[in-house]
Amino acid sequence: MSTRELIFYYAGGGALFLLCIAVSYWAVNFFIQQVAARTCQRFRESMMSEAERALQIFREGLCEQIVQQENKSDSLAKLYSLLIDLLRVGKEFTSRLAGGELLQAEKMLRTIRSTGESFAEVYQKESLHFTDDFCAVLKGFITQQTSVVQRLETGWSELQPDSGDKSNRISEMKQDWLQFEDRVGKVMDVMRNEFRKRQPAGNVMMRWLNETPVSRE
| The pLDDT of residue 77 is above 50 | yes
* pLDDT (mean) for 85-91: 94
Q: Decide if 60 is inside a domain.
A: no
Other Cβ atoms within 10 Å of 108 Cβ, number: 21
Residue 180's pLDDT is 93
Report if residue 98 sits inside a domain: yes
Residue 50 belongs to a domain: no
Query: What is the widest separation between alpha-carbon atoms in the chain?
Result: 153
Alpha carbon distance 152, 108 (integer Å): 11
Sign (positive/negative) of CA torsion 142, 147, 150, 151? negative
Query: How many structural domains comprise the chain?
Result: 1
| Structural domain contains residue 24 | no
Give tens-digit pLDDT for 103-157: 898 899 999 999 999 999 999 988 888 889 999 999 999 999 999 999 999 888 8
Task: Identify which of 79, 84, 65, 74 has the alpha carbon closest to the alpha carbon of residue 191.
Answer: 79
Q: Say how far residue 81 (Cα) sits from the centre of its chain.
A: 21
- Answer whether residue 181 shows pLDDT above 70: yes
Q: Which helix (H) or strand (E) holds 200?
A: none
Residue 140: per-residue pLDDT: 95
Q: Which domain holds residue 117?
A: 70-211
Cα 212 → chain centroid: 16
pLDDT tens-place string over residues 27-41: 667 667 776 667 777
* Residue 15 in domain: no
* CATH number of the domain that residue 116 is part of: 1.20.120
Residue 35 falls inside a structural domain: no
* 65 occurs within a structural domain: no
Specify the pTM. Answer: 0.62
**Residue 202 pLDDT > 50, yes or no?**
no
Comparing 2 with 192, the larger pLDDT belongs to 192
**Helix residue ranges, H only, the chain:** 3-98, 102-126, 132-157, 166-197, 201-211
* Mean pLDDT, rounded, for 73-86: 89
The closest of 113, 97, 102, 190 to 145, measured between CA atoms, is 113
41 inside domain:
no
